Amino acid sequence: MKAIILVGGSGTRLWPLSRKNYPKQFLKLNGDRSLLQQTAERLLKVVKPEDIIAMTNKDYKFHVQSDIYAFNSELSTANSNIILEPASRNTAPAIALGIKYCLDKLQCKEDEIIIVCPSDHISVRQAHD
């Protein structure tokens, strides 16, 4: 099983907390971890670190690297799977590129399960704990 985290959103809806250069997926809204880190934490319960792919754009590359790598050392050593979209084209093309990467680079089988999730959601369980 592989997991694709979509980390390309502009995050302008939570202004002034989030903004184009620092969108909501990098914010720590409900604890000491960013929304992206919380997403990675949930995925690590079911997917190996090397099977997690982060889809983002060139503007967020270093935010994604520092956020994920600071959170989990296994991700920093096992995961170079940060894919930069050549152009921002919204969700469907990002997913298609992620799946192509899984097939070509990670040798994913055509019938393998791929989880696709946003990087900016809050688990209901975490919100109530």
pLDDT tens, residue order, the chain (129 aa): 999 999 877 666 665 565 566 677 887 888 888 888 999 989 989 998 888 989 998 888 888 888 887 776 666 544 578 888 887 778 899 999 999 999 998 889 989 999 999 888 877 665 555
Confidence (pTM): 0.84
Helix%, strand%, coil% for the chain, nearest 5: 40, 15, 45
What is residue 121's predicted lDDT score, i.e. its pLDDT? 80
2-128: CATH superfamily: Spore Coat Polysaccharide Biosynthesis Protein SpsA; Chain A (3.90.550.10)
What is residue 76's predicted lDDT score, i.e. its pLDDT? 56
Could you count the other beta carbons within 10 Å of the beta carbon of residue 58?
A: 11
CA 24, 26, 32, 37 torsion-angle sign: positive
Enter the tokens of residue 107. 């040798």
**One-letter identity of residue 72:** N
Is residue 26 within 8 A of residue 73, CB to CB? The reply is no
Where in the chain are the domains? 2-128
